[in-house]
Amino acid sequence: MKTRTLGQGLEVSTLGLGCMGMSAAYGPAAGKRDMIALIRTAVERGITHFDTAEAYGPFANEALLGEALAPVRDQVVIATKFGFDIDPVTGARGAGTNSQPAHIRVAVEASLKRLRTERIDLLYQHRVDPAVAIEDVADTVKTLIAEGKVAYFGLSEAGLQTIRRAHAVQPLAAVQSEYSLFWREPEQALLPLLAELGIGFVPFSPLGAGFLSGKIDEHTQFDATDFRNAVPRFSAEARRANMALVEVVKAMAAGKGATPAQVALAWLLAQGSHISPIPGTTRLHRLDENLGAVDLVLDEADLARINEDVAQIRVSGARLPEAALKMTGQ
């Protein structure tokens, strides 16, 4: 497995593994034993970057990852997140965000226990808390780093000025946000800012929540608990309109002897050496398919063709429900 370096010298595998879908969001949780086996196989395949959060479950995903990675703890980078108003004992969800310094400390201690580790390698603020100055958040994480409980600091779905202000207090290793051929807004201002500040970028949903794999169409029925049922761009009408985007990656894949998912990931990797996507899966053959993107070469002509074709397509539907969008870019 090739590696990439995020900010502050944090080295990770070129592709990471997003673990959220193993416990939440895409329907019922997958079998624990199977997911432990999948995570350990990912390590054997060379993946060193694993992404989770206290909110996934809540708590269940961190516990799963902690058990799966315990035998190889020193070989991997574990990233997790704090920032929602979640009772650390009961898991009960409050109304929104909570990044009060005292709450951060309690959340981190609980995450350390679930992850079966003495150190969180990369700790993100999951969503910006408008009630707490980002400088106070960054200073709290700075103290946790000094105590050895955290190694690196990151932000998820944060706005440009928030990133600058946090970085001035405690240098950021990474910013995590959505980015793919399905959602290219980060190119406008976020990616240039991260390049300027030397911060790595960790795109989640690099396959557009599965859409760019070519396995979803307007007739696809999602489980009743799948979050995509509430996402505007996954309405049947939007999926019908957005199939034009899938056709672009399918056409390139046909000429490369690759799959649409591999083309979509290879395109993303070509956007910068400081980018480490975290596609998620619960299936071994999908894991192997995704890893095939690391060695798929898209030359300048290929990238230009993709960009030209995609530029003619207007993606239909918002990427998140309205309430969730209000919590991003702050």
What's the CA angle centered on 120, arms 116 and 121, to 5 degrees? Answer: 130
**Scanning the structure block, which residue is given the tokens 């807004």?**
185
To the query of whether residue 56 is one of the catalytic residues in this protein, the response is yes
Q: Please state, as a whole number, how many other Cβ atoms lie within 10 Å of the Cβ of residue 147.
A: 11
Burial class (CB in 10 A: 0-12, 13-18, 19+), 283: exposed
Q: Please state, as a whole number, how many other Cβ atoms lie within 10 Å of the Cβ of residue 161.
A: 11
Catalytic residue of the set 56, 124, 152, 179: 56
- The pairing of strands 93-97 and 11-13 is unpaired
CA-based torsion, 187, 192, 193, 198: positive or negative: positive
Alpha carbons 126 and 84: distance in angstroms, whole number: 7
Alpha carbons 62 and 292: distance in angstroms, whole number: 27
Backbone region of residue 26 per phi and psi (left: phi > 0; alpha: psi in -120 to 50; beta: other values) = alpha
Alpha carbons 35 and 24: distance in angstroms, whole number: 13
Residues annotated catalytic, as ranges: 56
